[in-house]
Structure 1
Amino acid sequence: MPAALEGIRVVDVTQGVAGPLCTRLLAQMGADVIKVERPGSGDPVRQWDDIVNGMCSGHAWVNPGKRSMTLDLKKPEGMEVLGRLLEGADVFIENFVPGTMESFGLDFDALREANPKLVICRISGFGQDGPYRDRPALDLIIQGETGLISTNGTPEEPAKISVSLGDISGSMYGVIAILESLYHRERTGDGQLIDLALFDAVMSWTGYFPFVWWYRHTNPERVGLNHHTMFPYGAYECADGRSVIVAAGAGSREQWLKFCTALQHVELVDDPAYATNGLRMQNREQLDPIVRKAIKAMPLEFWLERFLEVGIPSGAMNDFATAMEHPRMIHRELVREVDSAVGPVKVFDFAPQISGLDSVNKLGPPLLGEHTDQILTELGYDHTALTSLRTSRIIG
């Protein structure tokens, strides 16, 4: 079956995680993604580690499915090649500090005039204008500036989110905005200029925390594995030393009855100290030891079966090695292998499954500049021109 974005060409000059993960997802939808990198060093993500048979794990995560070419954008000849690439492109995406591309001589107004159908996506930490515009922003900085770190961790110590949440939120919104713009183009013929700030993306993901501030004027507390607004909710140690995660903090009496029945503590159901979620939150210090003692009496598998039987959401708190062998992973065949210059590399399949469309997992993480000659030949450059560009160090 065809992929949805087959025939769409994406010119990608991003680096790091947010932009490359965005274009990785577009590649899995069938887009032809051309990753443009600086000669010699390429995307800095390539140098983070050498875990994947000498290749960086970050590169193997965010860059499969793309063709890589090298191009020195600081030189006029390099910008000329980029211009030729963009003449036939559908999407152009960059995530440099605002002003960088302009310093290379790229005039976005002229670019849109030359190719009115082009969708341009600009990802940055704090947007293309306004305060903080000129500040570079790594994921940790965005997590800090948005206040996210202050809500995460234990009461004793804050902690960053372990995955690159700021970058991932930007990549997801980038994909959504690009797809929206391509759909709009189908109806109108017009391209779009997308200004996506990681700060904005993360702030829109902060859930109920803003409402705590807007309507109570208090900072959300750090609650570890507990929930900010519901109880019981969290991880509880079982008799075998493993922990069960239970989400029993819904406000309904029915849910509370199911939970107390599972624990064989039905006397708690109508206890005036615990009859509502608000009271349970208020009296959490008294209720928590009762819950923990009951769950500690039996092993994990007992509680998973018991909670499923009575209708309480629950799961295991797995270590990562266990999660990698999860029955869902095996059933879904979520992990695929693709060929690369360093041998077969494991990658994740595109998460959504769409009935009439296939995801694309053909190209592995490319070597730096692996497809430079191929792409330039497609643009009409002959052998003499390629030699000249290489001699001038415009390409690697």
Structure 2
Amino acid sequence: MAKHADIPEFGNLQGVKVVVSAVSTAGPFAGELFAENGADVIWLEPPRGIDPYRWTQDGWGVQNERRNMRNLMLDVVSPEGHDVFLKLVETADIFIEASRGGQWEKWGYTDELLWEHNPKLVIGHMSGYGLTGDPAYVSLPGYDFTVNAFSGLMYLNGYKDGTPYMIQKFVTDYYAGLFAYGSALAAYVGALRTGRGESFDLAQYEAAVRCQAGLFCKWFDKQVQEERGAGAPRDNISAGAGYYECADGEGVYLFTAGQSTTKKAVEFFGLEYGSELFPEGIPSVGIESPGAPVFDGAIERYCSEHTAAEFAEAMAGIGIPCSVVMNYEMMENHPHYLARGTWTEWDTVDGRTVKGVASVPRFKNNPSQIWRGCPSQGMDNDDVLAEIGFDQGEIAAFYEKGILRKTDYVGGL
């Protein structure tokens, strides 16, 4: 168990209190970003059922995405749980919930009610399809897989003449989590300035739609649908851009575009820059140009004689963007990953040591830290409720009525 006073003082968000009611990925990830920067994050978990992130991936998902959090396993739907929750938000700066659109209002928690109890509260509503719109969609559950499809992302990915591919791993969940984190911070700054709370409605599909560059502008202007598989395995605009397999069976992803980069690449691979095939000043070797098969052929010959690491090193030597297509084994001991401290270790609440990804980004004056692994179910019930004024007798009664629940389960099968 961890009392508020037990949380070490660190990060840019120390002193901020965040309550997050969400399972799986998107909502908890927003909370995780607050927790890694020093906020007191109380993860509200329902006492019936199990957050699927606790058992998927053998429980490693919660270890990476519930670090530094405290856990309150509370039935917010029951009348007494309703009263407990309202007392909790009176002490919070930010409340983020992720559910089907309008679920919390159906339970009786309108924004106006929450503001009666805390006028400065920032309220974040996350759902797959939003709080408003077509009722047939508002009520749908939102999962990364289906949002991937609805947002147009899935259509773009795969090979040109093949079926659509889903992007790994939980991309739209993480989009939504990042938007929720940024939106909550923006609203919190506004509340500090004005003394008035804020509420936002974040539809996960819109977060995914928003992160597709200018493709929709092009569609509305010219009715041009972006081709599936642009860049998979090779670019659909320029030669010398895409995936190339090397002599060791590993691959690299190369990108030659821009006048200076194109010039360096053409000359490096033994071709004549300024010739008819490769005119001086070209921004790239166009995929439909006579020089495209010649350029790609020269790159492929070089790849056939060198390993992926050798190819990437040669490109780095002349300033051309290129990377080995890394797998986890390569990444684990890669010198740059190690030099930057991309990996870190922390202790779990059940006595193990876990190695995973460090906090991102690196702050100079108020760095992030990991002080605790994922809490077990209801691990901090007693402390959290005592902090908001409930005595031990009242807390015991909540357990007897099933309003609170606690187990030693952290995660895994």
- Asked whether 1:197 is paired with 2:203, we answer yes
Percent identity for Structure 1 against Structure 2: 27
- Asked whether 1:247 is paired with 2:255, we answer yes
- Asked whether 1:341 is paired with 2:349, we answer yes
Higher mean displacement: 105-114 or 380-389 = 105-114
AA aligned opposite 1:121: G
Q: Give the Cα–Cα distance (whole angstroms) in 2 for the partners of residues 67 and 394 of structure 1.
A: 18
- Aligned match for 1:159, one of 159, 165, 182: 165
Q: Give the Cα–Cα distance (whole angstroms) in 1 for the partners of residues 151 and 129 of structure 2.
A: 11
- Alpha carbons of 1:245 and 1:278: their partners in 2 closer, same or farther (altered >3 Å)? closer
- Aligned match for 1:309, one of 317, 320, 324: 317
Q: Give the Cα–Cα distance (whole angstroms) in 2 for the partners of residues 208 and 326 of structure 1.
A: 35
Higher mean displacement: 131-140 or 274-283 = 274-283
- Asked whether 1:355 is paired with 2:364, we answer yes
Q: Give the Cα–Cα distance (whole angstroms) in 2 for the partners of residues 188 and 309 of structure 1.
A: 53
**In the alignment, what sits opposite 1:120?**
123
Q: Give the Cα–Cα distance (whole angstroms) in 1 for the partners of residues 217 and 294 of structure 2.
A: 27
SS in 2 for 1:5: coil
Gaps of 5+ in 2: 1-8, 406-413
**In the alignment, what sits opposite 2:47?**
39
How far is the alpha carbon of 1:40 from its aligned partner?
Answer: 4.2
SS in 2 for 1:282: coil
**In the alignment, what sits opposite 2:105?**
102
How far is the alpha carbon of 1:189 from its aligned partner?
Answer: 1.8
Q: Give the Cα–Cα distance (whole angstroms) in 2 for the partners of residues 294 and 330 of structure 1.
A: 30
AA aligned opposite 1:328: H
Gaps of 5+ in 1: none
SS in 2 for 1:361: coil
Equivalent residue pairs, number: 388
How far is the alpha carbon of 1:345 from its aligned partner?
Answer: 2.3
**In the alignment, what sits opposite 2:226?**
220
SS in 1 for 2:138: coil
Q: Give the Cα–Cα distance (whole angstroms) in 2 for the partners of residues 274 and 74 of structure 1.
A: 70
SS in 1 for 2:267: helix
Alignment check: 8 A CA contact 1:75 1:104 kept? no
Alignment check: 8 A CA contact 1:249 1:256 kept? yes
Mapping 1:29-68, distance limit 5 Å:
29-49=37-57, 51=58, 56-68=59-71
How far is the alpha carbon of 1:273 from its aligned partner?
Answer: 6.8
Q: Give the Cα–Cα distance (whole angstroms) in 1 for the partners of residues 323 and 306 of structure 2.
A: 15
Q: Give the Cα–Cα distance (whole angstroms) in 1 for the partners of residues 266 and 55 of structure 2.
A: 53
AA aligned opposite 2:220: W
AA aligned opposite 2:107: F
TM normalised by structure 1 equals: 0.92
Higher mean displacement: 175-184 or 271-280 = 271-280
Q: Give the Cα–Cα distance (whole angstroms) in 1 for the partners of residues 345 and 263 of structure 2.
A: 47
Mapping 1:177-326, distance limit 5 Å:
177-223=183-229, 224-250=232-258, 252=259, 254-265=260-271, 267=272, 269-272=274-277, 276-277=282-283, 280-283=286-289, 284=292, 287-326=295-334
Q: Give the Cα–Cα distance (whole angstroms) in 1 for the partners of residues 223 and 110 of structure 2.
A: 44
- Alpha carbons of 1:232 and 1:269: their partners in 2 closer, same or farther (altered >3 Å)? farther
User: Residues 263-285 of structure 1: CA distance to partner in whole angstroms, max 9, x if unpaired?
Assistant: 122x2553347764576222345
- Aligned match for 1:91, one of 91, 94, 97: 94
- Asked whether 1:380 is paired with 2:389, we answer yes
**In the alignment, what sits opposite 2:148?**
143
Alignment check: 8 A CA contact 2:89 2:117 kept? no
Q: Give the Cα–Cα distance (whole angstroms) in 1 for the partners of residues 110 and 43 of structure 2.
A: 20
Q: Give the Cα–Cα distance (whole angstroms) in 2 for the partners of residues 372 and 134 of structure 1.
A: 31
SS in 1 for 2:130: coil
SS in 2 for 1:281: coil
User: Residues 122-157 of structure 1: CA distance to partner in whole angstroms, max 9, x if unpaired?
Assistant: 111111111221111100111101111111111223
How far is the alpha carbon of 1:231 from its aligned partner?
Answer: 3.3
SS in 1 for 2:276: coil
- Asked whether 1:18 is paired with 2:26, we answer yes
TM normalised by structure 2 equals: 0.88
**In the alignment, what sits opposite 1:394?**
403
Alignment check: 8 A CA contact 1:329 1:335 kept? yes
